[in-house]
Structure formats: C-alpha cells, structure tokens
Chains A and B, each alone.
Chain A
Amino acid sequence: MTRLSPARIALYVISALVLVYLILPVLIIAPISFSSARFLTFPPPSFSTRWYQQYFANPAWMQATRVTLTIAFLTVLIATPCGVAAAYAISQSRLRIMRVIHMALLLPLVVPIIITAVGIFFVYARVGLVATLPGLVLANVMLGLPYVVISVLAGLQSFDPAQEMVARSLGMNRLRSFFAVTLPQIKSSVVAGGIFAFISAMDETIVALFISGGQYQPLTKRMFTALRDEIDPTIAAISTLMTAASFMLVLLASARQKKGG
C-alpha cells in the first residue's frame, strides 16, 4: 500500500468540504421545521410540530397545495404520451428534419426561463389564459417535455427495433406492436421521464410568478411571496415536505431504471 501523498490528502479534505457545502442546506431545513421557536435558532430549543399544524390548518396553503398537485398530475398525463410519441418518432425516423425537431424539443432547457416566462405572460394576456389552470398546465407540459424525451430516447437506444419488426411481420399493426413489444421494454424510462416531469412541475416557480393568480396560485408562488416579505417557519415545514416528496420520487425513478429497460 502506498503512503498518502500531501496532494492526495488535500484532495480528500477539499472534496469533503465541498460535499458538506452541497448537503448542508438540504439537511438544515428539517430541524428548523420541527423547532418550536418563532425565529431561527440553532440548535432548536425544543421539538414541535406547530409549523406543520399551521400549514395544514391554513386554507390558503391548502388551496395552493391542491393547485400544485393538480398541475403536476395533469402535466404528467399530457407530457408523458406526447414525449413518448415524439421520442419514438425521433428514434425511428431517418428524416433530416427530425434532427431539427429533436433540438426544438430541447429548447426549454436552452432558453433562460425568465425569458420564456415573460413571453408566455404576454401571449397569455392576449388570449385570456393568465391566472387559469389550463394556462399553468400547458406551460408546465412545455417545460416537462424535454425530460420525457431525453429519458425515453435513452431507453429506446438500448432497445432492438428488430423485435418490433418481428411482431409486425407476424401480422400486428404498428400501434399494437408498439404497445405489445416496445412499450413494456422501455417502461422504466417512460416512468422515469414522467416522474421528472412531475418534479419539474412541482418545483416550477418563475413562470408561475408571471402567469398565476387568484385562486390558481401554486405553492411555489405563495412561498416566493412569503419569502420576500418575512421568514416564516411554516415555509420550512412546506420545504421539508416538498423535499421529502422529491426524494421519494427520485428513488422510485432510479429503482425502476435499475430494474432494466
């Protein structure tokens, strides 16, 4: 065994510090949310669930939570089939234009979100979609599509299209062979793409700041406004719940991906 050189030790120490920097903010929220103190004190004086009670007892927060969940579910329901169909077409077709379309579908990742948000606000203002549920869902479908497309394209890369040919040569039509042969094999990447679209819709804030209002304000918009005004530990409780939800969904997605496909 070789002795550790000073450079190697420095590498370990620096990396450890960077990892602490990355993890610390994620870990700090839960203890704050269970603290009884009105103001931030660390370590928390005593354990309490009062901020969770305040969250669940507040009709405005509850309404915002319903809006967020509705948006996220509808986004997945629309973005997943659209994204799967598009990814399938991109992987199967040899048309030149498909490369351009592929790039176009990744645009939401390239254009700074603040620009997209303001642009959507102007368009929605013209067609009367500001502060409506369909408006919010459509915007989130657009933002979630790239995740579905990327995930499903990766899944299709390890799938042998010859299998679908066999099914078709045995008399299945294209649609039936897709559902019977292809889809079961790329199922995990479809589920993973859908989960990423869900998380993206749940966390989306900037577009919501511009186009949501009235009774259709998602959690993130209310949190943003609350954070700008004062620091209310109720936010810590909501943040903890949101983070727990995200992590569980990511674990679910990666567990599925490991199963194959």
Chain B
Amino acid sequence: MLALVSPALLVILALIVLPVGWLAWQSIYHDGFTLENYRRVFTEDIYWRSFALTFEISLAVTVIALLLGYPVAYLANSVPKGWSILILSLVVLPFWTSVLVRAYAWLALLQRTGVINQLLRYLDVVGEPLALVHNTFGTVVATVHILLPFMVLPLYATMQKIPGDLMQAGASLGASPTLTFMRVFLPLSLPGVLAGCTMVFVLCLGFYITPELLGGGRTVMVSMLVSRNVELYNQFGAASAVAVVLLLCVLAIFFAVSRFISLDRILGQK
C-alpha cells in the first residue's frame, strides 16, 4: 500500500515540502546563521505596514463575504430543491473562471472609462469618473468576488444539517420568526460560519494576482512583498523570512480553528 502512495508522496515532498523547507533554511542561513532577516521583518516599517494592511484587508474581505454569503446560503437552504441547485450553480459558476480572467473583468467594469463609470455618468449620478480601481477598494471588491463561494458552500452545508422541526418547535412555542432565527438557527449555523470565515481569511492572506493587478501598486500585500524581494531586489533571505512568517500565521490559524471544528470540514470543499 505504501508503494502505491509513493509516487504522489514523492511529488509532494519534492515540490512543496522541500521548497518550503528551503525557504525556511534560506531565511536563517547566509554564510552562517543569522536572524537578520527576521529582525528586518519585525522592525522595519515597510514590512510591518504590509502585514498590517494584509490582515486588515483579509478581515474586511471576510466580514463582507460573511454578510453577503449568509443570506444567499440561507435562501438556498430554505427554497425547494430545484431553486437551491440553481442558486448554488450560480455561486460556483465564477469558481471555474480563471482568477486572471476575473481580474480582467473587474478592470473592464471598474476603471475610469469602464462600464460602471460610463453608466453612472450616463445616468448623471456623478460628474467626474470615480476612482473605483487601482486602489484598495478595487482589490476588496474583486477579492470578495473570488472568495465568496468558499463562504457560501460551508455555510450551506451546515445549514442543511439543521433540522427544520427545530424552527417549527420554536414557532409553536410562540417565538417570533426573528427570535427563532436568533436563538435557534443562528447559533446552530456557527460551525459553518467559522469554517467559511477561516477559509476566506486564510486564502486572502496569501492573495497575489488580484492585489497586484487591481491594487495599483499602492496596496502592497505580503505576497507582493515576497515577489518584489525576489524579482526586483534579489533579497532572497528577506523574501524567505516574509514567506515563513506568512506560512506560520496560516498554520497558526488552522491549528487554532481545528480545536473547534475538524479540518476536513474547512478543506472539504472544491
């Protein structure tokens, strides 16, 4: 049996375990052991600000995705089967479109001469075109779009398991629909909320293409810090240290969340 897994395992070891290990080594070793790279990451302004910005954006994206995704999952859960299949198909449809293609679509929609600005000016809502892209706003709009399915699917999966009788029981005991929702349904859906939020937040921490193309150079997320240190400045040690810190953040979050819900539940999708 071990022979059967060995080709796959070999690929994983050679192409992800070894490279990540290499990064970790390179971050502390350069003609002798050094913690210089980590000192820079933790003390220099540019690194701090990038980490802070990345966490802020990830938090904003997670909250927005939850606020947008919860009603959709709730609706999909409360309508007849045919309708819920339709809603879920619409949710996963963008999933199968390349991230690059969607970044292009958002540029086409949001830029100064883009579809939305043309529409707003045609309707005389604004005089000057709005700056909707090449900034943090555009990055967040496109990132939420890409990550929303990762929120809706675990929410829906959890809501499906909530027995409908519980809501009826609440109603028959005289509780208003709002009260039943708040006291019964919402608490029972919290594992799904946690799973969805974890996935969205963690994926957002490592986002690269969207902020690079839609951030206009000002929204420097951690992933861009890594790539710039490699491509522009040849600072391999610094790039490695940033990557290691980012990876530790991701693993710490997974570890913390796995104490409440199983990891299979978070990774189960797609």
Contacts and interface: CB of A to CB of B under 8 A. Distances in A.
Interface of A: 5, 7, 11-12, 14-15, 18-19, 21-26, 28-29, 32, 39-42, 81-83, 85-86, 88-90, 92-93, 95, 97-98, 101, 103-116, 118-123, 138-139, 141-142, 145, 147, 149-150, 199, 202-203, 205-206, 209-210, 220, 223-224, 227-228, 231, 235-236, 239, 242-243, 246-247, 250
B227 A114 contact: yes
Contacts of B227: 114, 118, 209-210
A165 to B, nearest CB: 15
Contacts of A26: 93-94, 97, 102, 105
B187 to A, nearest CB: 18
A15 B148 CA distance: 13
Most buried by B among A82, A113, A250: A82
Nearest to B92: A250
Contacts of A123: 18-19, 22
Nearest to B26: A122
Interface stretch (B35-43, B70-78, B124-132): B70-78
A7 B240 CA distance: 50
Interface of A is mostly: helix
B166 interface: no
State the 6 A-B residue pairs at the shortest beta-carbon distance, nearest first. A112-B206, A119-B19, A25-B105, A86-B8, A89-B4, A142-B15
Nearest to A115: B243
Nearest to B86: A19
A110 B20 CA distance: 12
Contact of B108 (A40, A101, A116, A223): A40
Interface of B is mostly: helix
Contact of B8 (A12, A105, A121): A105
26 contacts: A15-B72, A22-B91, A26-B97, A28-B105, A28-B109, A28-B115, A29-B108, A42-B118, A89-B4, A97-B2, A112-B202, A112-B247, A115-B226, A116-B15, A118-B19, A119-B16, A119-B20, A119-B22, A122-B26, A123-B22, A139-B15, A142-B16, A145-B8, A203-B98, A231-B107, A239-B101
B193 interface: no
B230 interface: yes
A19 to B, nearest CB: 5
B213 A228 contact: yes
Interface residues of B, number: 79
B104 A19 contact: no
Interface string B258-270: 0000010001001
A206 B148 contact: no
A23 B93 contact: yes
A84 to B, nearest CB: 9
Interface of B: 1-2, 4-5, 7-9, 11-20, 22-23, 26, 68-69, 71-72, 74-75, 87, 90-91, 93-94, 96-109, 111, 113-115, 118-119, 145, 148, 177-178, 202-203, 205-206, 208-209, 212-213, 223, 226-227, 230, 236, 239-240, 243, 246-247, 250-251, 254, 263, 267, 270
A85 B4 CA distance: 5
A21 B145 contact: yes
Given A85-B8, A112-B223, A107 B71 contact: no
Given A199-B96, A220-B98, A227 B107 contact: yes
Contacts of A83: 8
A89 B1 contact: yes
A18 to B, nearest CB: 5
B4 A86 contact: yes
A24 to B, nearest CB: 7
A29 B105 contact: yes
B145 A101 contact: no
Contact of A40 (B98, B100, B113, B239): B113
Contact of B11 (A82, A220, A250): A82
A85 B5 contact: yes
Given A210-B230, A243-B97, 13 more contacts: A15-B72, A21-B145, A22-B148, A25-B106, A26-B94, A88-B4, A98-B5, A101-B5, A101-B9, A105-B8, A113-B208, A118-B240, A243-B101
